[in-house]
Structure 1
Amino acid sequence: MKSIEVKGSLRTETGKKATHELRKNDSIPCVLYGSQKDENGNIIDTHFAVTNEAVRKLVYTPHIYVVDLNIDGKIVNAVMKDIQFHPVTDKILHIDFYQIDESNPIVMEVPVQLEGLAEGVKAGGKLSLQMRKLKVKALYNVIPERLVINVSNLGLGKTIKVGELSYEGLELLNAKDAVVCAVKLTRAARGAQANAGK
């Protein structure tokens, strides 16, 4: 996976008023989970803020990144866990990050990339990608930038489901019977099939 640096600053106040002020100043409130522990071993979440500009490349991209979070000079490796947008303006309201632990698997959504020319497309069908991303669980250093699916042998009216896919070191968390891609019958393909049957 590619990495990207995001600079942020610790927040001293975390109430509604402080959050409103942050957003007014073009900043985004964020939380980093799993970053610190207190003397009893309990995990403390880190509250910090970033500018819209600092996360633009991370948010508005089809790629997935490991984030080198630079919070007041302290570097932490993390992944973006969740993001909230305003329902009307689409402005970013909040981002959750999760610190990477090299010994524990993480859950991420990875883009799907179809490869090859499907048999069904050659026969006049149309290839349809139903799931653009799949949810995987794995150690972060084995998570690929995209999940490649070869569709060369996919015939007319046929599908590829999550349960048919397998990637080394990755556990796919989507429903096994969920359709990832399909070759749909077009009107022309139906006509060709009908003529072939005569």
Structure 2
Amino acid sequence: MPKPTFFNLAESKRDKLMEAIHTEFSRVPLNEASISNIVKEADIARGSFYQYFSGKEDAFLYMLEQFAMDSKDVFLELTKEADGNLIAGLNAFFRRFLEDIDGIDFIRNTFHNMNLQTEEVIQKIFKDEVEELRFEDVRSCVGGKYAKLSSEEFYYIMDIMLGVTVHNILHKFGNRLEIDTACEHYRRELELLEHLVK
């Protein structure tokens, strides 16, 4: 997480720094990223960067967390637009995620260098302070047979679907699949999972 001084920055300066961070992590993976490039792009002193973040890993994880939070909002919106149809919402979200021109390089670099820490950040986005409430914001907008599941059952279904989603994103980038091919593969896996829900 950023240091408190980051949140004390004027919004315009914070935005400029985040744009510079996004640019660098879209250009190269985390292990090749350069703080020098970030501070040059953001037009700040190198020492200032360390007033806001403990290092490039900290900046990357914060960028990923913000990206994932925005993605979750898009998923909820698409599920509501699909009249609470969870599978339709997931399919629409998956395609939108892969078609995100502004974020595609950042996504590719993130998933090409997926590790336990980045996976935990993605998983954390759906967690509540109380573990039992995980996915409750998603559950509140779905209908059909998924709305009839207990909180515990919904938790496990969403945990599996989130795993399938991450796996399919990795599969798309790892195999350099066309978006339509990746979306069809994802749709088929979700369809199989849906048959398991009574």
Q: Taking structure 2 as the reference length, what is the TM-score of the superposition?
A: 0.24
Q: Taking structure 1 as the reference length, what is the TM-score of the superposition?
A: 0.24
The structure in which a higher percent of residues are strand is 1
Greater RCO, CA 8 A, separation 6+: 2
The structure in which a higher percent of residues are helix is 2
Give 1 or 2 for the bigger CA radius of gyration.
1
